[in-house]
Amino acid sequence: MTAHRPSDFQIRFPEQRQLYYGGGWHAARNGQVRPCGSPATGESYGEASYADPDDMRAAIEAAHKAFPAWRDTPPLERARQLRQIADILRAHKEELALVDAADSGNPVAAMLKDVDIAVSQLDFFAGLVTEMKGDSIPMGPDAVNFTVREPLGVVGRIVAFNHPLMFCAGKMAAPLAAGNTVVMKPAEQAPLSVLRLLELIDGILPAGVLNVVHGGVDAGAVLASHPLVAKVGLIGSVPTGRAVMTGASGTLKDVMLELGGKNALIACADADVEKTARGIVAGMNFAWCGQSCGSTSRAFLHEDIHDAVLERVVDLCGAFQPGNPADMATTMGALVSKSQHERVLGYIRKGQEEGARLVCGGKVPNAPGLENGFFIEPTVFADVTPDMTIAREEIFGPVLSVLKWSDEARMMSAVNGVEYGLTCAIWTRDLVRAHRLARQADAGFVWVNKSGAHFLGAPFGGVKQSGIGREECIGEMLAFTREKNIHINLD
């Protein structure tokens, strides 16, 4: 395949840089704006409006006003409109992916896949609108008793910066399909692809059904605590999840939290060396510079295959070369911001201070053209012990910790000995062992001889501090409904 250079495509940034609610564009009420720019090149992309709490309240009120009509819209008509949005994403796939890459720092080749995922989620939930079914409960000949599912009302969704377009387009699908109106708070670090999407789909949904407000912590706090918001969902860090849950508690609203992870990959003595090494590298999501909550950032390698797998992992890391995100040949992007860059470099220093052995990476690349970006090489530490900081805390960067094991019980104790429980990957040829370890793993999503992949229709979510609820499945849509019982006396 011939690599496309940035000059092959013209990046079409959004003309509208304001907040979108009530079917129209609005400047922030206090006039506040934030600069937009590339975390890879330092290039400026202008400014975008930045909401304060009053802007968020206005968006919530617009969604509340629009809810009754959207609730009463026939489900198949709601589905038709979601599919129309999906068709627009398909038609503008390269354009949206390129804006996403330029603004977020992730490679355009990866962001093309993000558009595909968003399209599939819109189509998936559009196809499930007739599955919000109730039950009949037998009461004898003198009564009819049944349940119905109803939408909740206004749903707030707060999403992260690592997949800006995919999270916004994909995470609006389930609540909209269920008949809710949505107030979306996208990532403040990378707003441009979402704004361009809104330009393209403006007018498809009735005014106020979808509202998108970029802002900071104060705006998010309003979305979590506002009495007109029936449920709030978050994709973000554990501390942010705790703050959202605290804000939601004042009105006893339900929450859906997809939070961080310090995910384990377990390689048993019988695992294939080459496949395991490739699984480790795939699970680390190096293309996103490791900025993924599902990254398997702790690799537990059995002592019999430890050295061979580690050597191969280092070789495979060479395929990830940081570069201009708008170049189709780029295989690794930049970290999203200066603060995140400094944070990850701090963890690398901490790993060395605590005695881990730096096997590869750990530096800021000095290749021409990268001097203004927030890049870090793929980094692998060996001789890591479970008590080390880099083995316990989520780094959200391209840093892999490798731990050697021989005793299964002690290894599983270390695997489960963190506050997180999002994903786990198990590599073995032994079916009995695979089932045993999968059962023992404190994680909401487990792969066997696979790493990193999501499967639409399969519930994704964590346990412990990694979150509440399940997404990417029919359960996600049903979670945006409530069950009502109706009893009819026939006597």
Active centre residues (catalytic): 258, 293
d(CA 381, CA 372): 26
Rounded to the nearest 5 percent, the helix, strand and coil shares of the chain are: 40, 20, 40
DSSP 436: H
Q: Under 8 Å CB-to-CB from 298, ≥6 apart: which residues?
A: 262, 263, 264, 265, 384, 391, 401, 403, 415
- Contact at 8 Å (CB) between 303 and 407? no
Q: Could you give the CA distance from residue 392 to residue 285 in angstroms, rounded to a whole number?
A: 18
Q: Tell me the two tokens of residue 152.
A: 């909740």
- Structural contact between residues 196 and 215, judged by C-beta atoms closer than 8 angstroms: no
Q: Token pair for residue 172?
A: 């609006």
Side-chain half-sphere exposure of 86, counting CA atoms within 13 A:
22
Alpha helices in 300-447 (DSSP H): 306-317, 338-353, 408-415, 431-440
The first and second tokens of residue 225, run together, are 């605590």
Please state the φ and ψ torsions of residue 199, each to the nearest 5 degrees.
-60, -40
- Alpha-carbon distance 338 to 326, whole Å? 20
Q: Cα–Cα–Cα angle for 422, 103, 82, nearest 5°? A: 65
DSSP run (H or E) holding 477: helix 474-478
**Distance from C-alpha of 457 to C-alpha of 227, rounded to nearest angstrom:** 32
CA pair distance 59, 27, nearest whole angstrom: 12
Q: Are strands 357-360 and 379-382 parallel, antiparallel or unpaired?
A: antiparallel
b/e map of 84-113 (b: 16 or more CB within 10 Å)?
Answer: ebbebbeebbbbbbbbbbbbbbbbbbbbbe
